[in-house]
Amino acid sequence: MAITHANYVAIDIKLTGLDEERDSIYSIGAILMSGGRIELGETFYRLLKPENVALEHSASVPGVTSARLVPEPDVAPVLSEFLTLADSDILVGHLVATDLAFLKNEARRLIGTEVRNPVIDTYQIYHWLMRHEASGTFYTPENVKLYEIASQLGVAVSSNHDSMDDAFITAQIFQRLMPMLTKAGVRTVGDLLRIGDPSGGLS
């Protein structure tokens, strides 16, 4: 299938921390894409109540407290709702390996579901293009984070930095990278999945 004909779900997942034994998902943002078209009416944003976490002590969650999340739904129903939305579409995230690990672990543990969606990482795609692009479009800072790549590609960055805003930024980055991929000869979903593999992609 051509990359311009596939369906994608750009995602961002916020975590209380990086310890898979102690930490949990507390927010999921997602927006659907049909090829390179962002479906602005097809979005998903949920805060949820993580399990057994004192958020006040988590430096990675500034401004988000346990009290704020107590009224929110538990993780399990939100995961079910999200996975129904995502169906079998390709998930698109930025530096997505950790988010994906939490998503898979919590889906398996809490709702008995395996997350089998194909996944691509805009970080890996960007760096593949950077290595293969001869026009000088790209630059090579030591660490290229989401907002740095967004700025490089002319994507506006919101000051909210919540999971919905970051998912929308990710979708716009992927939207801008898609014609560059086509120009570089990456036209099939199979090629895209190899290049965008969160574990490392192609050299």
Per-residue pLDDT of 13-60, as tens digits, reads 999 888 887 888 989 999 999 999 999 999 999 988 776 555 544 445
92 three-class SS: strand
Angle at 101 between CA 19 and CA 59, to 5 degrees: 35
Residue 9 has pLDDT above 60, yes or no: yes
CB 196 within 8 A of CB 125: yes
* Mean pLDDT calculated for residue range 105-111: 94
Give the C-alpha distances (Å, rounded to integers) separating 186 from 51, 123, 151, 178: 42, 16, 24, 9
Per-residue pLDDT of 156-182, as tens digits, reads 987 777 899 999 999 999 999 999 999
Structure tokens at 33: 């894409």
Position 9 in a domain:
yes
Position 203 in a domain:
no
Return phi, psi of residue 47, to 5°: -85, 150
Per-residue pLDDT of 114-143, as tens digits, reads 999 999 999 999 989 988 764 455 555 555
Position 53 in a domain:
yes
Position 202 in a domain:
no
* Mean pLDDT calculated for residue range 141-156: 82
Position 113 in a domain:
yes
Per-residue pLDDT of 93-107, as tens digits, reads 999 999 999 999 999
Position 14 in a domain:
yes
Is the model more confident about 150 or about 133? 150
Give the C-alpha distances (Å, rounded to integers) separating 92 from 87, 129, 191: 13, 16, 15
Domain that holds residue 94: 3-195
CB 57 within 8 A of CB 19: no
Return phi, psi of residue 99, to 5°: -55, -45
**What does the alpha-carbon distance between residue 165 and residue 176 come to, in Å, rounded to a whole number?**
17
Give the C-alpha distances (Å, rounded to integers) separating 168 from 28, 91, 147: 12, 13, 12
Give the pLDDT confidence score for residue 203 in this predicted structure: 36
Structure tokens at 158: 């919101």
**What does the alpha-carbon distance between residue 1 and residue 139 come to, in Å, rounded to a whole number?**
30
Give the closest residue to 26 by CA, choosing from 51, 43, 44, 9.
51
Q: What is the pTM of this model?
A: 0.87
Q: How many domains does the chain have?
A: 1
- pLDDT-based confidence at residue 69 (cuts at 50, 70, 90): low
Give the pLDDT confidence score for residue 73 in this predicted structure: 60
CATH assignment at residue 93: 3.30.420.10
Give the pLDDT confidence score for residue 99 in this predicted structure: 94
* Residue 41 CB coordination number (10 Å): 7
- pLDDT-based confidence at residue 113 (cuts at 50, 70, 90): very high
